[in-house]
Structure formats: structure tokens, C-alpha cells
Amino acid sequence: MLRAGEVYENPVTGERAVIRIGTDVTNGELLIVDLTVRPGGAVMGEHTHPAMEERFTMMAGKMGFRVAGKEETATAGVQIIAAPGTPHDWWNAGDKDVLVRVEMRPAARFEEMIRNGFGLAQDGKTDGKGKPGLLQLALFAQEFDDALQFTKPPRWVQKLLFGVLAPIARMAGLRGSYDEYLKRGPKEIVAVEPMELPEDIAKKLGLTVGA
């Protein structure tokens, strides 16, 4: 479970995530992080989340977004929402660090996926954009198909290609998810101001708002 104040970094994509509301208090229903992205940093590629909504609220800097084919540059105060199943991509569009608050609902599978993605990058097992090598990607994509789907190449090509490569990858000792990454702790823990659970999440968990 992710906890408030924990810090996780992806050295390849340039992401530094400070947990504000962790999955430990939301039972995986919600994750909120303050994400800093260095100049030149970007997510590993355009993708969709089949059953998860992702909200971005800009706090500082300039972030480029492409959502459902529409591209824009967002600055402080702008909110971008990628509904479940909506193709989206983002990148630092300026020459300074970007700070954006990211909300994921629900977040349990996203947490497992991002722990593996960051872990592979930290261990030098991705390309320059943070994507695993082809054999590893075949298993990663199959394991987290319910949480993350890349838009390129086309889905039918992915299914065919990964279906062929997955057995080879397993024979090579690779896996879709690694216990070592799921258990890997944060880079550091910092002090953060407490955040109140959103009303809808609190109600879903049977809690009183403000508890």
C-alpha cells in the first residue's frame, strides 16, 4: 500500500511522485500524488486506462496533453480529465519542472502497474522513454491489460505479437509482475499536509467526511 509522504521516482521518465492520499487509507479506491516532471520528461507513451479515471490539476509549469486526439498546453489552475478508455499522453512542455496533482480512481491495479514500471526503469531495464524491452513488454502488457493499454501499435497487432513473445519471455525467466518491485520501498519519506478524503470516496468507504 502507498502511504502519504512516500516519494517514488522514475529516473528515465523524469517523474517524482509524492503521495498525498495513499491506497492504504482508500482501500485502493483512490490515489492522489503530487507529481513533479523535469524538463524533457514524459509518460512512457500514449495509453488508456480501461476502468480508471485520471485527473490532472496543474499547479506549476507547462504540461502538454493529448486527450482523445486533442492536444493542448496546460498551465497552473487547469484541470484535465481522462475518462476510462480515453487515449491520453502528457509531457513537460516547458524548460522548468512541472508540478501537477494526479488523481486515479480506482487505483489498486494502477499501483501494482506503476511499481513495476518504476522498478524496471530504476534497474535499467527500459528504453529511453521508460518502456520495457520487447520481451518484458509482452508480459507487462498482458499482466496489466486491465490497468494500462498502449495505443501503438494497434491492439490487434499487440495481441498477436505479445501472444507469440510471451512464452519466449517466460522461458527467459521474465515475469509480468515482480514481487521485489511490489515490496520495494520509497526513495524517501517527506512531511506533507494532511488531505481530507473526497466526499464520494469517504461515503464509499463508509466514513464520515473529515474523519
**pLDDT digits 0-9 by tens, 130-164:** 999 999 999 999 999 999 999 999 999 999 999 99
What is the predicted pLDDT for the residue at 211?
Answer: 45
Cα separation, 109 vs 142, in Å, equals: 13
Cα separation, 102 vs 99, in Å, equals: 10
State the average pLDDT over residues 45-64.
97
State the average pLDDT over residues 158-173.
98
DSSP E strands in 12-142: the ranges are: 15-21, 31-37, 47-48, 53-60, 63-67, 70-74, 79-82, 88-92, 98-105
Binned at pLDDT 50, 70 and 90, residue 207 comes out as confident
What is the predicted pLDDT for the residue at 182?
Answer: 97
Per DSSP, the three-state class of 4 is coil
Cα 192-12-109 angle, rounded to 5 deg:
60
Q: How do residues 111-128 score in pLDDT, each as one tens digit?
A: 999 999 999 999 999 999
Output 211 or 153, whichever has higher pLDDT: 153
What is the predicted pLDDT for the residue at 209?
Answer: 58
Cα separation, 78 vs 98, in Å, equals: 13
Q: Does residue 83 carry a pLDDT above 80?
A: yes
Per DSSP, the three-state class of 107 is coil
Q: Does residue 210 carry a pLDDT above 60?
A: no
Q: Provide the Cα torsion 109, 113, 119, 125; round to 10°.
A: 160
Q: What are phi and psi for residue 72, nearest 5 degrees?
A: -155, 160
Average pLDDT score, the chain: 96
Cis ω before 106 (30° cut-off from 0): yes
Paired residues of 189 in beta bridges: 6
